Structure 1
Amino acid sequence: MISPILGFHHVAIIASDYERSKQFYTNILGAKILAETYRTSRDSYKLDLSFADGSRIELFSFPNPPMRMTQPEACGLRHLALKVADIKSAVDYLQKNGVICEPIRFDEVEGKYFAFFRDPDDLPLELYEIAE
């Protein structure tokens, strides 16, 4: 039997400071807001974001969410990789917007360049060059 799984639809992130993270993902990373919903019963916002290729992030706020216990090899989602056409210009862009990036590295298995950075809650994000 062939698996019915087509890929992933979204990644969900809980922010400690919703407005700060909203600005980071929209103004710096360029995600488009699809919908923003306040859920009174949960005292929580849900922000649906989309990138140019259709990939999505759900950004949530919750009152007093616990911090991630360990880094970087905690069980669970290790990092979120974002596709870019030109790694150098993407890193330059982030740095000009006050985002600290690790040095660009080379993935010897895939033959691609990548660099890590962090969101406002210190979540690990990666730029991954998809240019051929």
Structure 2
Amino acid sequence: MIIEHVAIWTAQLEALKDYYIQYFGAQANDKYTNVQKQFQSYFLSFASGARLELMSRPDIPANANDPISAQYLGLIHLAFGVDTMAEVEAKAAELRAAGFPILSGPRKTGDGYYEFETLDPDNNRLEVSAVAE
């Protein structure tokens, strides 16, 4: 069994789609729109076969969690894997230069990875990691 996709509600559908295309190599399908429900979405596909559904509807409330310092029960981050520690470093530098916060790292973890944490434009936590060399 596989996880088919993960879905994220967003108030800025186009910006979030563009972020994952630009910084993580996603490919977007054509936008789906249901006018009656005021619902719009994109499925983003990644080279690994993983998919991310970005969804927008005007009546969805904002998330009240503090994205930078708070940890809470439930889904906490999306993790992207790269092949080398140098790729982790390069992605962290690219995102930092583009104005996205680096919350921690890059660093070696106790379980054998090299990683950093950041936030996407909607303040969803992301992790980029590689097996430590």
Q: Give me the TM-score of the superposition, normalised by structure 1.
A: 0.84
The answer as to whether partners of 1:39 and 1:45 remain within 8 angstroms in 2 is: yes
**What does residue 3 of structure 1 align with?**
none
**What does residue 56 of structure 1 align with?**
51
Find the aligned partners of 1:39 and 1:63 in 2 and give their Cα distance.
Answer: 12
Within the alignment, does 1:84 sit opposite 2:79 as a pair?
Answer: no
Unaligned runs of 5+ in 2: none
Identity %, equivalent residues: 30
Report deviation, 1:130: 4.2
Distance 1:49-1:130 versus aligned 2 partners, 3 A rule: farther
State the aligned residue count: 126
Report deviation, 1:43: 0.7
**What does residue 112 of structure 1 align with?**
113
SS of structure 1 residue aligned to 2:31: strand
**What does residue 95 of structure 2 align with?**
94
The answer to which of 83-92 and 49-58 deviates more is 83-92
Report deviation, 1:17: 1.2
Within the alignment, does 1:73 sit opposite 2:75 as a pair?
Answer: no
**What does residue 10 of structure 1 align with?**
5
Find the aligned partners of 2:29 and 2:116 in 1 and give their Cα distance.
Answer: 27
SS of structure 2 residue aligned to 1:42: coil
The answer as to whether partners of 1:81 and 1:126 remain within 8 angstroms in 2 is: yes
Q: Give me the TM-score of the superposition, normalised by structure 2.
A: 0.84
